[in-house]
Amino acid sequence: MTTTVLLFTLLKVIVIVFVVLTAVAYAVWFERKVVARLQSRWGPTRVGPHGLLQPLADAIKLLTKEDITPANVFRLVYFLAPALSVITALLAFAAIPFGPVTLVGGVDLFQIANLDIGVLYILSISSMGVYGIALAGWSSNSKYALLGGLRSSAQMISYALAAGLSLVGVLLLSGSLNLRDIVNAQAGATWGFIPHWNIFPQLLGFFCFLTAAIAQTNRLPFDLPEAESELVAGYHTEYSSMKFAMFFMAEYANMLTVSCMVTLLFLGGWHGPVFGPALLQTMLPLLWFSLKVLALLFLYIWIRGTLPRFRYDQLMAFGWKFLFPLALVNVLLTSLIVAYRAD
Amino acid sequence: MFQETIAPVGKRTMILNMGPQHPSTHGVLHLILELDGETILKATADIGFLHTGIEKTCEAKTYHQAITLTERIDYLCPLTNNLCYVLAVEKLLGLEPPSRAQWMRVMLNELTRIGSHLVWLGTHANDIGATTVLLYCFREREEILNLFEAVSGQRMMTSYFRVGGLALEPPAGFLKRVEKVMATFPDHIDEYEELLTRNRIWMARTKSVGILTKEDALDFAVSGPTARASGIDWDLRRDNPYSSYDKFSFRVPLRAEGDIYARYIVRMEEMRESLKIVRQALEGMPEGPIQVNAPAVVLPQGDNRKTEMEALIQQFKIVIDGFCVPPGEVYQAVESPRGEMGYYIVSDGTAHPYRVKVRSPSFANLQALPRLAEGRLLSDLVACIGSIDIVLGEIDR
């Protein structure tokens, strides 16, 4: 590896981290805006036009707030937990391709690392996020936080299983764990207008994964770990200032990761009509990718604005008795079809 | 209280102090919970954080001044408190307000009921995670509060009902305004029901949860929608009518299940019934004065006191000294949005009440909470608190 490549990669990492963090900030703005409109409010309007500078104001506020550490916390773990959350959330982006291979100086522009086990890597690294939450709940010496931490460890572990299983169908169809290969397998269209997206043959898998992913990212109707009406704020009750912000960032980064995953695995990734001059042709896939992610984010927020929250035992029952068997059925059906085709 | 709830050493339970600062204890309720995991073994309510001493303060006020205190007892239904107190004093004085005043009282009371139920629905749904309903409910409640502001000058602390009638002539076109607001309401209620009533998650969270049997409801002296959801067919508006409620036709919603869902359905139907009553009041609103002809009690109206010596003296006397009430005691109960609200007033013949005691529905209803929640999960407790619709100001007084 030459120094140029190393330098380029480093630059790319910095740019992607910056982009992801900005996207996270604006995902918060987007959520606040959309939920507000669903609830016949305006949402942020004061800071900048349409409240567009609100994320900046929030960041300044959170950075300058007093950082309170309650008495008798397990200090090492208490400080480590938010970092762990946010690091695992950001690490997932290392394997996500945002567009087709575009080589500049021997470096792929739209992906940090093209892993052959990309899907597995993202699943495992996002499952690591549960440590941050469980440890935060355990170390902050608060009963609400403890309950929140316990709830979320159980929830994320059960739903990670369903999420992983519901992806098996896609993996069987494309025969690869490499995200790029999976996206490329979805190129083209039947009769010129029905795209070869995995969502069509894998509708069941799509719904299973989406549901499990919502649960894994602790969003309504599965936001039990931080159910504010029951557990005050759940695992991050005792966190303030930037440590709280790190949990917050991690949650939204996970939302983005999941939306990216769904886009890549089921919605054909960056595939879409490409036309125009060369520069436009490089940028259009990025646009399609972002639009699909945005649509999924909107779905997330829409669900939040509509549904009440599950109870803990109902959530577990739903995960184990409904979603998990459904994912299994999907695996079975897909394997049968794949086997039949292979004959 | 704290001592007895602490588990002995070696018992694997956890004591959780929920409240008085907690997002879903609806004010400053403090619950001492003994938890095994998330299962509630024992729930003990600790009240008194919102004690205001209103009952005692009333003794230092004249009968008219005390009206302004009553609405602060249950701040979600100020006019119901006004009505109950005013009716009690009128009973002592032997006054009967003119029919227009009575009909206005009924109408405003039902508007208060709708407003109060909207707050209940919003906060209850919010506790169960449906945040949007809260905003919708407050949007509509705003319209009702605007009506109160138009009629009394205040959004919440209205003091609009006075001994002997109403405080002021309602503004011109007020009934038209009420009609306009009420015309949109059935659609709004449909909107909330669309979000919740047939929602699978909502049903899973509320059906067969927090069951209060009919026997328990009677034992705990539970009243109002909470009792009617347990099959107790008792509504003071119909069974012990006051303020010409007997002239209105309405249905009293009743359910037998006694779970959270039943309480939800009963209150939703009650809102629709209240709408009916308001509509009847609008259609049949009688003409006539708004105050009884009792110069010793009622403040002179209009320009009388600028031109008539007698009126000026009366005004001065009522404002400075108040009016004397014949000795005796009286209990007046009305159907508040939360249940039977009663005012017990003892008069010693002076211009100040000797004793005012409030029978608050929330206080009795709260007693049933441990029965509803024990043995269930923490999330159910939150739903249960919302479903009995307590107002802490009324519990602690």
pLDDT tens for residues B201-250? 888 888 888 888 999 899 998 999 999 999 899 889 888 888 888 888 88
Residues of B with CB under 8 A from a CB of A: 14, 16, 22-24, 38, 125-132, 135-136, 139, 195-196, 199, 201-202, 204-205, 377-380, 382
What are the DSSP calls for B231-284, one per residue?
Answer: T----HHHHS--TTGGGS-------SS-SHHHHHHHHHHHHHHHHHHHHHHHHH
Asked whether residue B345 carries a pLDDT value surpassing 90, the answer given is yes
Q: In B, which residues are within 8 Å of A222 by CB distance?
A: none
Helix/strand/coil for A125: helix
Within-domain flag for B348: yes
Domain range spanning residue B367?
A: 54-396
Average pLDDT, chain A: 84
Contacts 24+ apart (CB under 8 A), B244-252: B244/B99, B244/B102, B244/B103, B244/B106, B245/B106, B247/B284, B248/B106, B248/B277, B248/B280, B248/B281, B249/B276, B249/B280, B250/B274, B250/B276, B250/B277, B252/B228
Shortest Cα distance from A148 to chain B (angstroms)? 10
Mean pLDDT of A327-343: 87
Domain count along chain B: 1
Peptide bond into A221 cis (omega under 30): yes
The sign of the CA dihedral B22, B28, B32, B38 is negative
pLDDT at A176: 84
A21: which residues sit within 8 A by CB, 6+ positions away?
A: A249
Mutation test of the interface with chain B: which of A146, A230, A321, choosing the one with the most B Cβ atoms within 10 A?
A230
Shortest Cα distance from A218 to chain B (angstroms)? 13
> Between A41, A229, A307, which is nearest B24 by CB?
A229
CA distance A276 to B188: 49
Which neighbouring-strand residues pair with A262? none
* Interchain CB distance below 8 Å, B128 and A227: no
ipTM of the complex: 0.80
Nearest to B204 by CA among A266, A219, A311: A311
Going by pLDDT thresholds of 50, 70 and 90, the confidence category of residue B262 is very high
Shortest Cα distance from B30 to chain A (angstroms)? 14
Within-domain flag for B219: yes
Tokens of B387: 């479903």
Question: A237 to chain B: nearest residue by CA?
Answer: B22
Amino acid letter, B19 = G
Average pLDDT, chain B: 87
Residue range B357-381, pLDDT digits in tens: 999 899 989 988 888 888 888 888 8
Asked whether residue A12 carries a pLDDT value surpassing 70, the answer given is yes
CATH code of the domain containing B320: 1.10.645.10
pLDDT at A105: 66
Within-domain flag for B275: yes
Within-domain flag for B20: no
Question: B21 to chain A: nearest residue by CA?
Answer: A232
Helix/strand/coil for A105: coil
Asked whether residue B1 carries a pLDDT value surpassing 50, the answer given is no
B209: which residues sit within 8 A by CB, 6+ positions away?
A: B259, B260, B261, B376, B380, B383, B384
Peptide bond into B225 cis (omega under 30): no
CA distances, A259 to each of A292, A295, A296 (Å): 8, 9, 6
CA distance A330 to A166: 7
Q: In A, which residues are within 8 Å of B380 by CB distance?
A: 311
Helix/strand/coil for B9: coil
Within-domain flag for B29: no
Nearest to B222 by CA among B28, B389, B43: B389
Within-domain flag for B324: yes
CA distances, B358 to each of B26, B48, B241, B329, B351 (Å): 20, 15, 19, 13, 19
For residues A136 and A239, the answer to whether their CB atoms sit within 8 Å is yes
Mutation test of the interface with chain B: which of A38, A311, A313, A318, choosing the one with the most B Cβ atoms within 10 A?
A311
Shortest Cα distance from A183 to chain B (angstroms)? 35
Residue range A224-256, pLDDT digits in tens: 666 666 677 677 778 888 888 888 888 889 889
* Interchain CB distance below 8 Å, A229 and B127: yes
* Interchain CB distance below 8 Å, B131 and A305: yes
pLDDT at A47: 86
* Interchain CB distance below 8 Å, A39 and B135: yes
Asked whether residue B3 carries a pLDDT value surpassing 50, the answer given is no
Question: A312 to chain B: nearest residue by CA?
Answer: B379
Judged by a CB distance cut-off of 8 A, whether residue A182 touches chain B is no
Asked whether residue B346 carries a pLDDT value surpassing 90, the answer given is yes
pLDDT at A106: 67
pLDDT at A169: 86
Residue range A14-73, pLDDT digits in tens: 988 898 889 888 988 998 899 898 888 888 888 888 888 888 898 898 888 888 888 888
Q: What count of CB pairs under 8 Å joins A to B?
A: 79
Judged by a CB distance cut-off of 8 A, whether residue A303 touches chain B is no
Within-domain flag for B8: no
* Interchain CB distance below 8 Å, A224 and B379: yes
pLDDT at B265: 92
More confident call, B309 vs B2: B309
Residue range B100-155, pLDDT digits in tens: 999 999 999 999 999 999 999 999 998 888 888 889 999 899 999 999 999 988 88
